[in-house]
Chains A and B, each alone.
Chain A
Amino acid sequence: MAKHELDLSGVPCPINFVKTKLKLEEIASGDLLEVILDDGEPIGNVPRAVKDEGHKVLKVEPAGERFKVTIERK
């Protein structure tokens, strides 16, 4: 089970979600992806949208002014 990272600091909606989706498509099923998201709309929208795509959100934790979201690829 590999762990991947994606820094989406300063990336607005919905580009942040599209980038997350593309990254998830690249990695293997069961792999983890840690995404850094801005506060506000990005953290409000992306985790939910990722769940809607069938992936599992394992953790959401503060990372400075931003958030780190850990996703398990379906």
Chain B
Amino acid sequence: MSSEKSSEKRIDLSALKAGGFIKQCQPNLFALRLRVPVGDITATQLSAVAKIAEKYGQGRIHLTARQGLEINDINFDDFNDVQDELKAAGLSLGACGARVRVVTGCPGKDVCPKGLGSTKKLGKALDDAFFGQGDLPHKFKMGVAGCPNSCVKPQENDLGFNGVVEPLLDETENECISCNLCEKACPTGALKMVEGRPVINKVICDHDGLCIKACPVGCLVEKRQGWNVTVGGRFGRRPNLGQLYATFVKTEDIKALTSAIIKAYRKLGNKGERLGVAVERVGMKAFKEEVKANIG
């Protein structure tokens, strides 16, 4: 009885609900996975992580494939103290198992000249809303890329997002000088100069915004901005890229769509099945209908 009580006291199990602590091959030692949404961490936090690794571990920190940090060699008995120190630095543990994992993201338009959407805002909003959710058939990963270049590989995720824009020639404020730089910048050949003005073939346009960014006068503008959504991506033993599910979804509609997709996955997925496998089994049409029913 007393030993049970003391073990309860030793570890605050409720704080470990989402996982984030991974058994190492050495007895009593665990790797603590930190929650680093969109791979963004402050210098102060990083320094707190370093201090914890020195104080409680053996000074070893592992950079994960999903932009996370894992502090190695943490003794089971130090869990509470380490968690307190992490909390003081504004950090918490990541997730393991059949849960919504930390959202990954590229730097996006807040940093990258090619960025079209704010991956920091969308990625953190998604992480705030869905991180750690359980009761799922399997793990659930999301990744947010600021443009179609997909540097953060969103298509490897169960749910992936790519920032996109639709270009439009608008000469009301700035007149086109027929410089051809937009045509030179277009990687797909969708934009051609016709009689000194850009004409865009909407079928083959990748919506990467490179023409808008190349325009030195500002007559090519963003007609609309949104996110292309891919579903069912996974890596692991049988990798498969996500399929395009929707185009130009507005930032404000992403949370509702994500929530509906997670609900549909929960309902249609068999235990141990990733979203992509479930979608393959039930068919994209049936999956979409279930998602639509959840949006209402």
Task: Give the contacting residue for B214; candidates A48, A50, A69; CB below 8 A.
Answer: A48
- Contact between B214 and A44 (Cβ–Cβ < 8 Å)? yes
Q: List residues of B (187-217) whose CB comes within 8 Å of A's CBs.
A: 213-217
For B215, the closest partner residue in chain A by CB is: A48
For B180, the closest partner residue in chain A by CB is: A60
The answer for the CA separation of A69 and B177 in the assembled complex, in Å, is 11
Chain B interface residue count, CB cutoff 8 Å, equals 12
Q: Which residues of B contact A44 (CB under 8 A)?
A: 181, 184-185, 214
Interface string of A14-45 (1 = CB under 8 A from B): 00000000000000000000000000000110
- Contact between A57 and B185 (Cβ–Cβ < 8 Å)? no
Residue A63 is within 8 A (CB to CB) of chain B in the complex:
no
Q: List residues of B (132-190) whose CB comes within 8 Å of A's CBs.
A: 177, 179-181, 184-185
The answer for the CA separation of A43 and B179 in the assembled complex, in Å, is 11
Residue A59 is within 8 A (CB to CB) of chain B in the complex:
yes
Q: List residues of A (51-66) whose CB comes within 8 Å of B's CBs.
A: 51, 56-60
- Contact between B177 and A57 (Cβ–Cβ < 8 Å)? yes
Q: Which residues of A contact B181 (CB under 8 A)?
A: 43-44, 47-48, 60
Q: How far is the CB of B177 from chain A (nearest CB, A)?
A: 6
The answer for the CA separation of A57 and B217 in the assembled complex, in Å, is 6
Q: Which residues of A contact B218 (CB under 8 A)?
A: 51
- Contact between A51 and B217 (Cβ–Cβ < 8 Å)? yes
The answer for the CA separation of A58 and B177 in the assembled complex, in Å, is 7
Q: Which residues of A contact B177 (CB under 8 A)?
A: 57-60
Further 5 A-B residue pairs, CB within 8 A, beyond A48-B213, A48-B214:
A44-B181, A51-B215, A51-B217, A60-B179, A60-B216
10 pairs from A and B in contact (CB 8 Å cutoff): A47-B214, A48-B181, A48-B213, A51-B218, A57-B179, A59-B177, A59-B179, A60-B177, A60-B180, A60-B216
